[in-house]
Structure 1
Amino acid sequence: MTENKDNTTHFGFQTVDKTEKVHKVAEVFHSVAAKYDVMNDLMSMGIHRIWKRHTIACSGVRSGQKILDLAGGTGDLTAKFSRIVGPEGQVVLADINESMLNVGRSKLRDIGIVGNVEYVQANAECLPFADNQFDVVTIAFGLRNVTDKDAALASIFRVLKPGGRLLVLEFSKPEQEALSKVYDWYSFNILPQMGKMITNDAESYQYLAESIRMHPDQETLKDMMHTAGFEEVSYQNLTGGIVALHKGFKF
Structure 2
Amino acid sequence: MEAKDTTHFGYKEVPTAEKAKHVAEVFHSVAGKYDLMNDLMSLGIHRFWKHFTIMNSGVRRGATVLDIAGGTGDLTRQFSKLVGDTGKVVLADINASMLNVGRDRLTDDGIVGNIEYVQANAEALPFPDNSFNCITIAFGLRNVTDKDKALASMFRVLKPGGQLMVLEFSKPAEWMAPIYDAYSFKILPQLGKIFTGDEDSYRYLAESIRMHPDQETLKQMMTDVGFERCEYHNMTAGIVSLHRGYKF
Say which of 10, 13, 16 aligns to 1:15: 13
* Alpha-carbon distance in structure 2 between the residues aligned to 1:15 and 1:133: 36
Change (3 A) 1:13 1:56: same
Deviation string, structure 1 residues 41-80 (Cα, Å, up to 9, x no partner): 0000000000000000010000000000000000000000
Report sequence identity in percent. 69
* Alpha-carbon distance in structure 2 between the residues aligned to 1:203 and 1:92: 31
* TM superposition outliers: structure 1 runs of 4+ over 6 Å: none
* Corresponding position: 1:54 with 2:52: yes
TM-score normalized by the length of structure 1: 0.98
User: Within 5 A, what are the aligned runs for 1:5-84?
Assistant: 5-84=3-82
- Give the counterpart letter for 1:155 in structure 2: S
* Corresponding position: 1:201 with 2:198: yes
Say which of 139, 143, 146 aligns to 1:145: 143
Say which of 126, 129, 139 aligns to 1:128: 126
* Alpha-carbon distance in structure 2 between the residues aligned to 1:111 and 1:248: 32
Superposed displacement of residue 166, structure 1: 0.1
Say which of 92, 95, 108 aligns to 1:94: 92
Q: Tell me what 1:232 maps to.
A: 229
Superposed displacement of residue 19, structure 1: 1.0
* Alpha-carbon distance in structure 2 between the residues aligned to 1:4 and 1:142: 25
TM-score normalized by the length of structure 2: 0.99
* Corresponding position: 1:249 with 2:236: no
Which runs of 5 or more residues in structure 1 are unaligned? none
RMSD: 1.1
Q: Tell me what 2:115 maps to.
A: 117
SS in 1 for 2:244: strand
Which runs of 5 or more residues in structure 2 are unaligned? none
- Give the counterpart letter for 1:13 in structure 2: Y
SS in 1 for 2:134: strand
Superposed displacement of residue 182, structure 1: 0.3
Deviation string, structure 1 residues 15-37 (Cα, Å, up to 9, x no partner): 11111111000000000000000
* Corresponding position: 1:184 with 2:181: yes
* Alpha-carbon distance in structure 2 between the residues aligned to 1:29 and 1:19: 18
* Alpha-carbon distance in structure 2 between the residues aligned to 1:4 and 1:81: 39
Q: Tell me what 1:215 maps to.
A: 212
- Give the counterpart letter for 1:117 in structure 2: I
Superposed displacement of residue 4, structure 1: 9.5
The number of equivalent residue pairs is 248
Superposed displacement of residue 222, structure 1: 0.3
SS in 2 for 1:113: coil
